[in-house]
Amino acid sequence: MRGAGWEQLVVHTGQHYDAALSSQFFEELEIPEPDSNLEVGSGTHALQTARVMERLEPILVARRPDWVLVYGDVNSTVAAALVASKLGIRIAHVEAGLRSNDRTMPEEINRIVTDRLADLLLTPSHDASATLRAEGEPDEEIAFVGNVMIDTLLHSLPAARASGARAGFGLGEEAIVVTLHRPSNVDDPDRLRRIVNALRQIAQHHPVIFPAHPRTQQRMTAATIDTAGVRVVDPIGYLAMLDLLQSAYAVITDSGGVQEETTALGVPCLTVRENTERPVTITEGTNVLVPNPEDLPGRVAAFRQARPVGRVPEGWDGRASERIVRALDERRRAPRS
């Protein structure tokens, strides 16, 4: 963290413990080696949350930081917020105010609880700030800073383009990139089969590449789902994925982050979900919700006549991290409420 007098301590919870999903990202995103690794690993939501709380508490007790910054909406986010709050340490939540209004999603519970506990709510979009005000959060605790993930994207884009990932996979400008990971899509064999069948139809007209987590691949194998025509590959690194996304004809996903990345890149995105906690990607960006998998082939075909034309939302300019530091500077001496 750059700012006068600030020292940053990086705690890696180890919630994403696979090398392809963890250490590779640290290297590619040029993140400093973590000062601590909690090595939480996999488990139920309760187990992950409890392990983070148990292992983070002694670190915070020993270091007594002025602030704990928590990011996003995963179990680690809410666990760290709970520990910090009970120790009387101020919490800043990056990506505050996002809502899907669907409490069947564990991430929605994490967002709500974290925002209630946070002392500083750092929002990525103006609609997120409005949501927090509607929920009763005071203006002095809300700071619109923009989307820090787009800082990463813009910083990494030259390296991504130089990675040669698209060329390495032999893909041109007609490729469809697929990412799926949500349990509602990959843990239900019938729904997963419907999605893959739709991808197979699309693959008759476009190359379809699907970097799939081993767990998702296991689900497809166990359900004897025919993936013929769809290029299913192992997970790839951030730079390789970014190269595929920036050159894609369209993207099919259920990822919140990919919705944002495609909006920033101006690439059409079809989100296989009933809702999204990032509505700005629809109202201003290139994202469309497609809850019914059978509608996917028709949506892709329609791009021949008209492709979504969006704009990059305010604050998605690569300067969000600077605004975060300024927000912390402004509150450096403010008493804790």
DSSP conformation letters of 277-330: S-THHHHTSSEEE--SGGGHHHHHHHTTT------PPTT-SS-HHHHHHHHHHH
**CATH superfamily, region 159-302:** Glycogen Phosphorylase B; (3.40.50.2000)
Using CA atoms, how far apart are residues 271 and 282, in angstroms rounded to an integer? Answer: 10
For residue 199, what pLDDT is reported?
98
51-90 pLDDT tens trace: 999 999 999 999 999 999 999 999 999 999 999 999 999 9
Comparing 11-146+317-330 with 159-302, is the CATH topology the same?
yes
Residue 68 · residue 84 · CB < 8 Å = yes
Report the CATH fold assignment for 11-146+317-330.
Answer: Rossmann fold (3.40.50)
For residue 5, what pLDDT is reported?
79
| Catalytic (active site) residue 181 | yes
174-199 pLDDT tens trace: 999 999 999 999 999 999 999 999 99
User: What pTM value is reported for the model?
Assistant: 0.92
For residue 18, what pLDDT is reported?
62
Using CA atoms, how far apart are residues 143 and 170, in angstroms rounded to an integer? Answer: 44
The full set of domain ranges for the chain reads: 11-146+317-330, 159-302
For residue 57, what pLDDT is reported?
98
Task: Quote the tokens at residue 129.
Answer: 């700030």
The catalytic position among 16, 126, 181, 213 is 181
The neighbour count for residue 333, using CB atoms within 10 Å, is: 6
Residue 71 · residue 96 · CB < 8 Å = no
Residue 250 · residue 268 · CB < 8 Å = yes
pLDDT along the chain (337 residues), means of 10: 76 73 79 91 93 98 97 96 98 98 94 98 98 98 98 97 96 96 94 98 98 93 97 95 97 97 98 97 97 98 92 97 96 67
Residue 262 · residue 241 · CB < 8 Å = no
Return the SS3 of 43.
coil
For residue 25, what pLDDT is reported?
79
User: Which helix (H) or strand (E) segment is 120 a member of?
Assistant: strand 120-123
